[in-house]
Amino acid sequence: MSDVIVLDQLVVRFGRFVAVDRLSLSVRKGELFGFLGPNGAGKTTTIRVLIGGRAPSSGRVEVAGLRMPQQFDRIKPLFGYVPDTENHIEEFSGRENLELFARLYGIPLSEVGRVLAKLELSEAANLPVRAYSKGMRRKLLIAREILHRPRILYLDEPTANLDAHSTELVRRMLRELVADGTTVFITTHDMQEVEQICDRVAILCRGKLVECDTPTNFVTRHAERKVAVQYERSGEVLRERLDLDAEPERNRLADIVRHESCVRLHSQEFQFEDVFLKLTGQAYT
Amino acid sequence: MIPRPRMLAILVGREARRLRKNPSALLLLGLLTAIAVLLSLSRPGPKPQMNCWVVYSEASPWTDLLRQRAANNPRIRVVSMAEVKSLSGFRVYPPHDCVIELVGQVSNLPAPPEPDQNGQIENLPHDQKINLRFLYPGNDPNVIAPYLQWFWPATAEHFGSTAPFAATTLPITGTSCGAVMERLKQSSITELMTEEFIATILLIIVLFVTCCHLQVSFTSQDRERGTLTALVLTPASTTELLLSRYIFHLSLGWTACAVIIGILRPVAFAHPLFWVTTALASIGLVSVGTVMAALARTQAAAGVLSLCYMLFGGVIFYLATKFSAFGSLKDASFESYSLPLLFLSLKQNLPLEKAPGLINLAGLVAAWTVAASWLFRQRGWR
C-alpha cells in the first residue's frame, strides 16, 4: 500500500514553544489511522498543518503525493476535515448547510438526502442548526465532510458528545469508508474506539512521536500480567494486586492461595488504555 | 486562479441568505431608509403660485419700465397706490400675494451723489430716498425671491448702481423681519447646505454599515466559528471567497445608497461623480473591514477595532482643523476625500476631471484593497 500522508521531521513552533517536535510518520492508503496523545500533545496542531491551516516551521509534509502548503489548492478537494469544534453556518438549517457545500463541490443535491439519512439526521434536516443538540451537530459535521466522498478524511475527536448508538453508527460508517478505500486519520481520547476500529495508532506526547504500531501489537508488547486477589483473615477481607512477571509477587500469590482463605482471584487483562498511560508517562503506580 | 462565476454566485447567494436571516442588520438598514423617507417628507414642498403686486406712489419712467417688463408675466401687476383698496388708512392686498411698495417722489429726487467704495449711498437724507417695502405672506422670505430676481435687474437698468433706496422687508402679517438680502441669502444657503449635508452623512452611514460594519461582523464571525476555514477548504479559492464578499457588500451598499438618493436627491443619479465616488468609497470601506476582520481574532475584538477606526478618524479630523501637523495624517485617510466629493456630487454635476482629490481617493482605496487582499490570504481565514 502506498503512503497517502507523509510527515518528515515536522516541526511547528508557537514562538519559543515547540508544539510538534521532529515528527515523522506515514499513513497508508485505505488505512484507519489513530493519532493519540494527552491534551496539548500536538495532535490538533498536526492536523492543522495537514489541512493547510498552519504552515510548518520546518520539515516536509506530503498529502497524496503533493507538497503542503505549496500545493494547497490541489490538495484541498481531496480531503474532508471534521474539526474538534463545530463550524456550521448557524443561521441555516442542516439541509441548507449541506446543500451549500454540495454546490461548492459541484455534487448533485440528491446526495444531501442520502448523507443525512446515513447519519440519521433526515428528520431534523430542516431545523436551524442552532436548535440541534451537541450530538446532532457533530453528526452533521461528519455528514458535511463525507458529502464529497473525500480520499482522505481527518477527524478530530469525531465521537465526542455522541451517545452510544450514534458512536456505533459513526464507527461503522468510518469502517465502511475505509473499506471503500478512503484513508481516515482520527484523533480521539476514547481508547476503546482506538482498539476497536484503528488499523494503526501513533502515540504523541509533548509534540514527539512515542510509538506507532497496530493496537494489537501495542498491547502484546506492553502487556503486564497482573492478578487481583481477595482473601479473608480473622473475619477481615483483604485485597492485593500482584505482578506475575515479578518473582517475589508470584511467591506471594502462592502463599495466599496456600495459606489464606481465598475469596476471589482475577487475572487483570491489559487494555490499550494501560499502554497509552504507560507510554505517556501517566500510568497509575 | 481566475474567479469562477458559478462559485461566486454560490458564495454571494450564501451571504444574501445569511443577511436575510439576520434581523438586526436588516432593521438597521430599514431604519436608515426610514430616516431618508422622513427627511424627504419634512422637506418643504413646492409653494402655491402667488401673484406679486408692484405698487407705486407716483408714476415715473421707472414704473413705466417696470410695467413694460411685467407685461410678459401675468403674475406681476404694476399698479398705482390709488388703485389699491384701503381700510382705516391701511392698504389691503390679497392674502396670499407678495407686494413690492415703492414709496417716494421719484421725480423730485436730487441728482444722486457718487457712491462710496462699497457702492452704497448713505449720505442722502431719509426723505430723499425711495422707500421700498417688500411684503410677503407667511414667515418665509424666500417666497418673494423669484419676484426680486425680476425686480432688481429692471430697477438697476433704470438707476444704474446709484439707486437711492431704503428697503425693508416685512411679512405681510406685519411681524418685523431682518435685513432683506442678508436674510434671504442666509436662509437659502442654510437650506441648501442642510439637505445635501444630511444626504451626504446618511450616505456615509449607509456605506459604513453595509460595506464596513457588516463585512467586519460577518467575516470575523465566520472566522471565529471556523466557518471561513470550512469554506476555504472547499474547491472555492480564497480569491473567490474574498471577491464574493466584495460583490455582496458592494451590491448591498450601492442598492442602499440608490434608495437613499432616490428618496432625498434623485437628481444625483445623473451625476457621474456621485457614482464614481460612491464606488470608490464603498470599495475602500469593504477593504478596511476586511483588514480589521483579518487582524482581529474574534468578533468582539473586530467590533472594538471598527469602533476605534471610527473614533480615530474623528479625532484626526478634529486635530487636523486645530494643528497643521495632523493635516497630512488626515490626507492619508480616504474619508477626507470621499466625504467632500460625495457632498460635491450631490450639489452639482461636476465633471470627473475637475473633481478635487479624486485621484488621491482612488490611490488610497487601491492601497487598502491590496492590503486587504494580502492580509486575507495570509491570515484572514485561519
This complex has an ipTM of 0.83
CA distances from B358 to A7, B207, B367 (A): 53, 18, 14
In this complex, the residue of B227, B235, B382 whose CB is nearest that of residue A104 is B235
Does the global pTM surpass 0.90?
A: no
| A156 compared with B180, residue with greater pLDDT | A156
Whether residue B258 is contained in a domain is answered as yes
In the chain, the amino acid numbered A48 is R
B144 and B206 inside one domain: no
Predicted confidence (pLDDT) at residue B123 exceeds the cutoff of 50: no
If one compares A59 and B23, the residue with the highest pLDDT of the two is A59
Mean pLDDT over B354-377 rounds to: 92
Closest residue by Cα to residue B150 from B69, B223, B241: B69
**Inter-helix orientation angle B238-264/B5-20, to 10°:** 50
Domain check: are B233 and B159 in the same one?
A: no
pLDDT digits (tens, 9 = 90+) for B267-290: 889 999 999 999 999 999 999 999
- Find residues 203-232 of chain B whose CB sits inside 8 Å of chain A: 225-227, 229-232
Size of interface A-B (CB pairs under 8 A): 56
Amino acid at A190: D
A126 near B CB under 8 A: no
Is A81 an interface residue toward B (CB < 8 Å)? yes
Say how far apart CA A178 and CA A261 lie, in whole Å: 52
**How large is the average pLDDT for residues B2-29?**
86
CB B361 within 8 Å of CB B337: yes
Residue A152: per-residue pLDDT: 95
Nearest to B236 among A85, A90, A104 (CB): A104
Residues of B within 8 A of A130 (CB-CB) are none
Q: How far apart are CA A119 and CA A136, in angstroms?
A: 9
Q: Is residue B160 part of a domain?
A: yes
What does the alpha-carbon distance between residue A222 and residue B187 come to, in Å, rounded to a whole number?
94
- DSSP letter at B376 equals I
- Of B175, B201, B223, the position where a domain reaches its end is B175
Say what percent of chain B tops pLDDT 90: 24
Residue A225 confidence (pLDDT): 82
Residue B234 is nearest to which of A90, A91, A104, comparing CB atoms? A104
Q: Which amino acid is at B43?
A: R
Of B121, B149, B175, which marks where a domain is finished?
B175
pLDDT band for position B173 (50/70/90)?
very low
Residue B129 and residue B32 share a domain: no
pLDDT band of residue B167 (cuts 50, 70, 90) is: low
pLDDT at residue B176 greater than cutoff 60: no
Cβ–Cβ gap B236/A87 under 8 Å: no
Over residues B122-147, mean pLDDT: 70
DSSP, collapsed to helix, strand or coil, labels residue A130 as helix
Q: Which residues contact B25 (CB under 8 A, 6 or more apart)?
A: B19, B209, B214, B217
d(CA B312, CA B284) in angstroms, rounded, equals 17
pLDDT of residue B122: 46
Asked if the model's pLDDT at residue B171 lies above 60, the reply is no
- Whether the CB of A99 is below 8 Å from some CB of chain B: the reply is no
Q: Return all residues near B84 (Cβ < 8 A) that are at least 6 apart.
A: B53, B55, B91, B92, B93
Q: What is the mean pLDDT of residues B143-158?
A: 82
A-chain residues within 8 Å CB-CB of B18?
Answer: 89, 91-92
pLDDT reading at B241 higher than 70: yes
Share of chain B above pLDDT 70, in %: 81
A87, B14: Cβ pair inside 8 Å?
no
Nearest to B218 by CA among B8, B2, B14: B14
A76: chain B residues, CB-CB within 8 Å: 232-235
CB contact under 8 A, B226 and A73: no
Residues of B in contact with A103 (CB under 8 A): 10
- Per-residue confidence (pLDDT) for residue A10, from 0 to 100: 95
pLDDT (0 to 100) of residue B230: 92
Closest CA–CA distance from residue A91 to any residue of chain B (Å): 6
Query: What DSSP string runs through A215-250?
Result: HHHHHHHH---EEEEEEEETTEEEEEEEETTSHHHH
Look at residues B245, B172, B316, B277 and name the one whose alpha carbon lies nearest to residue B11.
Answer: B245
Mutate to test the interface with A, among B233, B239, B241, B381 (most CBs of A within 10 A): B233
| Domain total of chain B | 2
Query: What was the pLDDT predicted at B84?
Result: 84
Note the pLDDT of residue A252. 93
φ, ψ at B10 (rounded to 5°):
-65, -45
What residue spans of chain A are helical by DSSP H? Answer: 43-51, 72-75, 94-105, 110-118, 134-146, 164-179, 191-197, 215-222, 247-259, 272-279
pLDDT tens digits for range B343-352: 888 877 888 8
Three-class secondary structure of residue B119 per DSSP: coil
Q: Which of B117, B149, B175 finishes a domain?
A: B175
Query: Containing domain of residue B351, as a range?
Result: 5-42+184-380
Best mutation site among A49, A85, A87 for testing chain B: the one with the most B CBs within 10 Å? A87
The answer to whether A48 touches A72, Cβ cutoff 8 Å, is no
Q: How many beta carbons lie within 10 A of that of residue A231, not counting itself? A: 18
Length of chain A, in residues: 285
A106: which chain B residues are within 8 Å (Cβ-Cβ)?
235
Please answer yes or no on whether A105 and B227 come within 8 Å at the CB atom: no
Q: Is residue B264 domain-shared with residue B362, that is, in the same domain?
A: yes
Please state whether beta strands B86-87 and B90-91 pair in parallel, antiparallel, or not at all (unpaired).
Answer: antiparallel
The answer to whether residue B47 is domain-embedded is: no
Note whether B17 and B111 are same-domain residues.
Answer: no
Is residue B380's pLDDT more than 50?
yes
Residues of B in Cβ contact (< 8 Å) with A12? none
Residue of chain B whose alpha carbon sits nearest to that of A88: B227
Q: What does the pLDDT average to over B155-160?
A: 76
For the CA atoms of B358, B272, B351, B190, the dihedral, rounded to the nearest 10 degrees, stands at -90
Residues B70 and B31 in one domain: no
Does pLDDT of B369 surpass 90? yes
Q: Spell out which residues of chain A touch residue B225, defining contact as CB-CB under 8 Å.
A: 87-88, 90
B231 and B340 together in one domain? yes
- Residue B3 pLDDT more than 90? no
C-alpha distance from residue B60 to each of B63, B67, B73, B100, B109 (Å):
5, 11, 20, 16, 12
3-state secondary structure B25-50: HHHHHHHHHHHHHHHHHHCCCCCCCC
- Same-domain status, B115 and B14: no
Instruction: Tell how strand A66-67 and strand A79-82 pair up.
Output: unpaired
pLDDT at B119 over 80: no
Same domain, B350 and B328: yes
Lowest-pLDDT range of A34-48, B92-106, B299-313, B355-369: B92-106
A72 interfaces chain B, CB cutoff of 8 Å: no
H/E stretch holding A185 reads: strand A183-187
Task: Give yes or no: residues B257 and B364 share one domain.
Answer: yes
Query: What whole-number distance in Å separates Cα of residue A121 and Cα of residue A123?
Result: 6
CATH number at residue B146: 3.40.1710
pLDDT class of B125 with cuts at 50, 70, 90:
very low
Residues B192 and B326 in one domain: yes
Same domain assignment for residues B58 and B148:
yes
Written as tens digits, the pLDDT of chain A (285 aa) is 589 999 999 999 999 899 999 999 999 999 999 999 888 889 999 999 999 989 999 999 999 999 998 999 899 999 999 998 889 998 899 999 999 999 999 999 999 999 999 999 999 999 999 899 988 999 999 999 999 999 999 999 888 888 899 899 999 999 999 999 999 999 988 888 888 899 999 999 889 999 899 988 888 887 778 899 999 988 889 999 898 888 999 999 999 999 888 889 988 777 777 778 878 875 444
- Contact assignment for A81 to B18 by CB distance below 8 Å: no
- Whether B174 has a pLDDT exceeding 80, the answer reads no
Phi/psi region, residue A120 (left: phi>0; alpha: psi -120 to 50; beta: rest), is: left
* Chain A residues with CB-CB distance to B231 below 8 A: 104
